[in-house]
């Protein structure tokens, strides 16, 4: 219990930093006439995530305390974030994509490590939703600051992220010590290649969950990458309005532990996937609705965020932790992240960017409305396929009970 306050602040800062630069990156690029590279931006982030998390997870599992790895990565990342506005202002697309690639290399492994640090010091099923909710609050606070200051479409969002990253990096060195759990294990090429974590794919239900996550990244990326681009077309300021969604994450995060214990992983994750279908359809309807009806669909979409995110992705974090043995928990979180925000993000951003750049070719609402309506149908269909597949093939009901033997 004494470690929980420090973990709450850790998670707050982790997602504050992410929210400051990632939440409105699409809106910033669109405001500087760079909408065409929104898909490419998320693709290079995906490539970066393929490269780094498993290796960083292996380092944290075997050689260096996780909190120290996080601190170093965040301080270096702050320096990179500080340079990005110059590339946007000069229209240097290649330079911008290179810097974003480096940000992905440095930042995204720390998300998996933050999860791993949390699980090492608390009972995951009971306390992780509460710890994780402070990440959601951090994301929300970042969004409110962006909206209040007018940074939603400004390069200043990167400067805010850089400053916060310095603070967080220094704070990481004050976190509870999380030494390498496999430090005394003999080093081998197996560790370098992270084959211990990859062995989790031998479990068919773990594989089904990972495949579902991989495919659903198309729907999730369409939302996260293009909602900040879409809302200004409707005349809505994105950062402030999107905090409705973040608020619902907080509410459902507090309920997640109870709901998982009562209904199990299958029902919770399945319901999360179904809600991704509903919210994508509502975004499609909003494109040509107008007036009060448009706000009804947009607000309804945002209110579904808590279920869409917590029930699918946060429940997934807990599921992965329960499937992994003690010595590979950091690697397992890295593996889960590399599948979703690595290969999944690269694939999803490429698909979404291809579709958006060909379907949405106009800027004004009158001309672009029907195009955006068509665009949002694609992620709805993808989420429906995931939901049906997960319903039929996933049946790992006893993972919470059987996990005690693993750890």
The residue to which tokens 């004050």 are assigned:
174
Tell whether the model's pLDDT for residue 401 goes beyond 50: no
Write out pLDDT tens, residues 228-252.
889 988 888 888 888 888 788 778 8
Residue with token string 């179904």: 274
With cut-offs at 50, 70 and 90, classify the pLDDT of residue 54: low
Give the closest residue to 172 by CA, choosing from 65, 21, 55, 53: 65
Residues 98-152: pLDDT tens digits?
999 999 889 988 887 888 788 777 765 677 778 888 888 898 899 889 888 888 8
If one compares 287 and 3, the residue with the highest pLDDT of the two is: 287
Residue pair 15/138 in contact by the 8 Å Cβ criterion: yes
CB-based contact 209:269 (threshold 8 Å)? yes
Mean pLDDT, the chain, rounded, equals 85
Q: Which of 219, 230, 216 is nearest to 38 (CA)?
A: 230
What's the CA gap between 11 and 404, in Å, rounded? Answer: 26
Length of the chain counted residue by residue: 407
In this prediction the pTM is 0.78
Q: At what angle do helices 345-359 and 377-393 cross, to 10 degrees?
A: 150
Q: Is the distance from CB of 110 to CB of 70 less than 8 angstroms?
A: yes
Min mean pLDDT across 34-38, 210-214, 217-221, 396-400 is at 396-400
List the domains of the chain with CATH numbers.
7-180+189-406 (1.20.1250.20)
- Residue 376: per-residue pLDDT: 96
Give the span between the Cα atoms of 341 and 42, in whole angstroms. 9
Helix residue spans in 150-203 (DSSP H): 156-172, 189-192, 195-198
């Amino acid at each position: 219990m004494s470690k929980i306050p420090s973990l709450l602040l850790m998670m707050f800062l982790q997602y504050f930093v992410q929210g400051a630069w990632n939440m409105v990156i699409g809106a910033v690029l669109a405001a500087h006439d760079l909408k065409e590279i929104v898909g490419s931006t998320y693709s290079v982030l995906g490539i970066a995530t393929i490269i780094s998390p498993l290796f960083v997870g292996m380092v944290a599992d075997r050689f260096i305390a996780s909190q120290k790895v996080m601190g170093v990565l965040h301080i270096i990342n702050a320096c990179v974030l500080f340079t990005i506005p110059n590339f946007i202002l000069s229209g240097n697309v290649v330079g911008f994509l290179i810097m974003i690639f480096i940000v992905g290399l440095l930042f995204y492994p720390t998300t998996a490590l933050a999860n791993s640090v949390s699980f090492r010091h608390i009972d995951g099923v009971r306390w992780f939703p509460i710890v994780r909710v402070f990440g959601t609050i951090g994301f929300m606070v970042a969004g409110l600051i962006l909206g209040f200051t007018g940074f939603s479409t400004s390069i200043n969002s990167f400067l805010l992220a850089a400053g916060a990253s310095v603070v967080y990096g220094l704070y990481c060195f004050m976190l509870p010590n999380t030494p390498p759990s496999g430090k005394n294990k003999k080093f081998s090429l197996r560790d370098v290649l992270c084959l211990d974590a990859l062995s989790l794919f031998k479990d068919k239900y773990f594989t089904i969950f990972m495949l579902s996550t991989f495919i659903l990244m198309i729907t999730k990326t369409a939302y996260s990458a293009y909602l900040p681009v879409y809302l200004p077309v409707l005349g809505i300021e994105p950062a402030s309005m999107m905090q409705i969604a973040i608020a619902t994450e907080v509410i459902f995060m507090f309920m997640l532990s109870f709901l998982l214990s009562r209904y199990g992983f299958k029902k919770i994750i399945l319901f999360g996937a179904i809600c991704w279908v509903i919210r994508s359809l509502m975004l499609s309807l909003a494109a040509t609705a107008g007036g009060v009806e448009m706000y009804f669909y947009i607000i309804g979409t945002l209110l579904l965020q808590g279920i869409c995110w917590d029930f699918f992705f946060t429940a997934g974090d807990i599921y992965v932790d329960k499937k992994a043995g003690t010595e590979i928990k950091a690697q397992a979180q890295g593996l889960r992240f590399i599948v979703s925000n690595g290969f999944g993000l690269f694939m999803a951003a490429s698909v979404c960017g291809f579709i958006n750049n060909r379907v949405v070719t106009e800027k004004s609402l009158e001309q672009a409305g029907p195009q955006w309506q068509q665009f949002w149908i694609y992620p709805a269909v993808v989420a429906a396929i995931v939901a049906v597949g997960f319903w039929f093939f996933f049946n790992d009901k006893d993972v919470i009970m059987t996990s005690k033997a693993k750890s």
